[in-house]
Amino acid sequence: MLQHKAFKFRIYPSQEQIILLRKTLGCSRFVFNHLLAKWNETFQATGKGLSYNTCASQLPAMKREWPWLKEVDSIALQSAVRNLADGFQRFFKKQNDPPRFKSRKHPVQSYTTRYTNGNIAVKGERLQLPKLGWVPYAKSRDIEGRILSATVRLAPSGKWFVALVCEVDIQPLPVTDGMLGIDMGIKQLAVPSEGPTVDNPRYTLRYERLLAKWQRILARRKRGGSNWSKAKRKVAIIHEKIRNSRLDVMHKQTTKWIRENQTICLEDLRIASMMKNRHLAKHIADASWGEMSRQLHYKARWYGRTIKETPVFAPTSQTCHVCGNKQAEVKDLSIRAWKCSVCQTVHDRDRNAAQNIKAMAL
């Protein structure tokens, strides 16, 4: 089955290429902001916005008025118009807030270009991008399928990355009889109904002292100065290290679960509401339950697996999975083991919850 799959790599552009990359980012941002202003003016005057075709048809006139727009990739400018139109479509569907003006001071800057007539190519350890030519990149794996688009991104740490979206023929994995229920937590990152538990690496706490040190240094330095910029980049590098370490653990574990099980049962968590608990918010964010669920869902779609979820308020921790008796008292989070008053079975709180998640989801 053909699926869209992204391959992300770090690139190492030369100084001349960095100048052109920054010009492309600036021109894409300028086109987006200029058309957003026109869109808002039209909506206030007529009560209707502009379509994608109307905005895209203004690009030739903008290039005549501002000739420096011709120096960068034209497809990147068209993608900026497309992003604006998509943002308004989602807003009218009440999926997100209306598009806002882009700022050059935002820590993340990116632009997207599409594959046309071989303008994106890979050869050895070099990558060809429109207007840039050949750029060295860190080849961590082979690129599969047909290249559709490339998104170039400047990270807050100052590193340049490219994400290639390819159309890949992904074959489903062989059918198995495995069924797994997973209880996500903080003390243990995940407790499956069968098999070993997954320890929570707690990368945020691991780097917390180093992060606090550089945040204090950043606070003492004059905003906008060169030393302030160096400290800000150091803080971004630490955050990037935390994120990459967390994603590495999750990708390995979710891939293992997908390969070994046909059906995976999860708990439908309201993470945004749980984050309002000021005592647990930092630990919940560090655990990244939403990212784990996202990875399981798209990998299951790729490889022919099934994801099932329990109802939101299902009493998975308070119900005995052996006899089905629901305990009357609500157990505090500090209670990690309890004994059923009916069948006298002693339960580990998380393992019992995982068994109930599997039974209730199925």
**Residue 247, strand partner residues:** none
Pairing of strands 263-267, 179-184: parallel
Catalytic one of 194, 267, 268, 348: 267
142 in active site: no
Catalytic one of 125, 177, 194, 350: 350
Phi, psi of 106 (to 5 degrees): -65, 140
- DSSP three-state, residue 22: helix
* Span between the terminal Cα atoms of the chain, in Å: 26
Which residues, other chains included, contact 304 with Cβ-Cβ below 8 Å and sequence gap of 6+? 172, 173, 175
Query: Residue 317 to residues 35, 185, 348: CA-CA distances in angstroms?
Result: 52, 12, 10
Q: Residue ranges of the alpha helices (H) in the chain? A: 15-46, 52-56, 59-65, 74-92, 203-206, 208-220, 226-260, 271-274, 281-287, 289-303, 349-361
Residue pair 146/167 in contact by the 8 Å Cβ criterion: yes
User: Residue 134: in which H helix or E strand, if any?
Assistant: strand 133-136
Residue with tokens 């109904």: 193
Q: How far apart are CA 173 and CA 153, in angstroms?
A: 33
Which residues, other chains included, contact 222 with Cβ-Cβ below 8 Å and sequence gap of 6+? 228
Catalytic one of 183, 194, 248, 309: 183
Q: How far apart are CA 148 and CA 113, in angstroms?
A: 9
Residue pair 326/146 in contact by the 8 Å Cβ criterion: no
350 in active site: yes
Sheet holding 2-11, edge to edge: 2-11, 160-169, 146-154, 109-114
Pairing of strands 146-154, 160-169: antiparallel
Positions marked catalytic: 183, 267, 350
